[in-house]
Structure 1
């Protein structure tokens, strides 16, 4: 009876081992020293030494590489990896010196399409990875003669089962500066907000980033839409950005007190003005006391 750990290794490593690019009958599988491999130019997908990679390494040690990678000549007897970056890394970690591959002559656009399609169906892909991958495939297909933006976007999304509109939204994210795109990956910014902010100039995006970091805030979809409109009208500036963001922060910190509950602490004869004066006096005393305590605490530290 097979152990659960063995079953897990086989299942979680399936995509890494088998890929999705078809192999023709004329092509031969050859074993190539992994020291001759080069990473695909601008490869947009992460190759992490995480738990899933370790599972793949264990599978490679036990079963070998069940589906060869695809490479193309790089010059001087070396090769550029088109499909199989994770398998390549798994071979390295497993201590293997060679990896089975198919050597295929192909132009840049064909190689780009294969590289994206063999990776895009993974479940753990970040928005930033999809953004750059879809952009690369979109541009490659345009070079190959695909006509019509919507039609090309639909074709780009076919391998992942995504609509042309979804592809276009991901491609827009590639126009974000890297830190804002990181925030989309970390879910500090929604994809919709990121898409809208992508229409801002680089300088305007840097203003937004500075405001977010300084005020410890995020940007809502509605606020991003406002910034996009101001940018389009060439009226966006740092003052507007801070005003919009801080307005939300002030609204979030607004405190509403029950008049009935507050009144229960005062004699019936007290007027509204007298009640407010007492409250503010007590709050001021509390603030001074708090400040004094913080100073005393700070004096005890080195």
Structure 2
């Protein structure tokens, strides 16, 4: 069993190879085209947020080039002749948006526990999973599979310290988790205040002031309890500014803040993961 867990950390392709080598029956060796209406999402999928802008971009790519990588499915236990997604829900959603009637899929027969484990590994390794979703995925994996933090780290191909630090996010108060899910706080901010006496109050201060992670750490330690003096009076935001922030957030899938001071000011875009930052950089450089 330990060997299998180490193998999972090498990625989904290695995991599939091990499943077949172990004798897991497969309904067809290679990918097949399966009608989209016969495929259903997995209710235990760790990812709950799918950025509309990113899905739209992927749908455009699929219209032009098709689905380049098959999704992974297993036979549905509740609906004979139909299938449940194990990995690839984002591609399945984008294919629907692109108007496809079928998608290429690998069919592999596996139990609930193995499907659950693969779904977590695939999301953690390949997608820009929100830090809180990642934390809850680790917690669910440990609870269901009775893994230790060290075993979980081997399964997902991460360090034990990364798993331990990420798990701390799952015990934050709901209001702090909401800031984290919306991108108003990064994982670094959340970890800095996770063990503080009043993380909710600290989170509000961090969001309101736009503090860096280092400043948040100082605040949590009581070394930065006074706000810095503003360079000038801040004017209340008008309806147009709020509307522009909302439009930008919808397009980017990130938290956006505009601070205007008489025609000059600053635009803040907060990212929750390095993948989001990479995506933003790609969008900006394509516009040049």
Structure 1 distance, partners of 2:167, 2:137, is 8
Q: RMSD over aligned Cα, in angstroms? A: 3.7
Worse overlay, 103-112 or 21-30:
21-30
Tell whether 2:84 aligns with 1:91.
no
Q: Is the 8 A contact 1:60 1:91 kept in 2?
A: yes
Match of residue 129, structure 2, among 91, 116, 125:
125
Q: 1:253 to 1:55 in 2, by over 3 A?
A: closer
Displacement of 1:152: 1.6
Task: From the CA coordinates, give the structure whose radius of gyration is larger.
Answer: 1
Q: How does 1:157-172 map to 2 (within 5 A)?
A: 157-158=156-157, 162-172=158-168
**Residue of structure 2 equivalent to 1:41:** 43
Q: 1:200 to 1:43 in 2, by over 3 A?
A: farther
Structure 2 distance, partners of 1:151, 1:102, is 30
Q: How does 1:1-302 map to 2 (within 5 A)?
A: 20=13, 22=16, 24=20, 27=26, 28=28, 29-45=31-47, 46-50=49-53, 52-72=54-74, 73-77=76-80, 78-122=82-126, 124-142=128-146, 146=147, 149-158=148-157, 162-184=158-180, 188-189=184-185, 191-195=187-191, 197-199=193-195, 212=205, 220-224=216-220, 247-249=225-227, 252-253=228-229
**What is the DSSP-based 3-state SS (H/G/I as helix, E as strand, rest coil) of the residue aligned with 1:248?**
coil
**What is the DSSP-based 3-state SS (H/G/I as helix, E as strand, rest coil) of the residue aligned with 1:101?**
strand
Q: Is the 8 A contact 2:192 2:216 kept in 1?
A: no
Q: Is the 8 A contact 2:36 2:103 kept in 1?
A: yes
Displacement of 1:180: 1.1
Q: Is the 8 A contact 1:32 1:101 kept in 2?
A: yes
Displacement of 1:90: 2.0
Structure 1 distance, partners of 2:66, 2:210, is 49
Structure 2 distance, partners of 1:214, 1:131, is 21
Q: Which has the higher contact order (CA 8 A, sep 6+)?
A: 2
Structure 2 distance, partners of 1:254, 1:104, is 59
Q: 1:166 to 1:75 in 2, by over 3 A?
A: same
Q: 1:33 to 1:177 in 2, by over 3 A?
A: farther
Structure 2 distance, partners of 1:176, 1:104, is 37
Corresponding pairs, count: 206
TM-score normalized by the length of structure 2 = 0.56
Displacement of 1:164: 0.7
TM-score normalized by the length of structure 1 = 0.54
**Residue of structure 2 equivalent to 1:240:** none
Structure 1 distance, partners of 2:122, 2:207, is 41
**What is the DSSP-based 3-state SS (H/G/I as helix, E as strand, rest coil) of the residue aligned with 2:123?**
coil
Structure 2 distance, partners of 1:156, 1:65, is 28
Q: Is the 8 A contact 1:128 1:182 kept in 2?
A: no
Worse overlay, 130-139 or 187-196:
187-196
**What is the DSSP-based 3-state SS (H/G/I as helix, E as strand, rest coil) of the residue aligned with 1:82?**
strand
Structure 2 distance, partners of 1:187, 1:89, is 23
Q: 1:208 to 1:106 in 2, by over 3 A?
A: same
Q: Is the 8 A contact 2:42 2:86 kept in 1?
A: yes
**What is the DSSP-based 3-state SS (H/G/I as helix, E as strand, rest coil) of the residue aligned with 1:121?**
helix
The structure carrying a bigger helix percent of its residues is 1
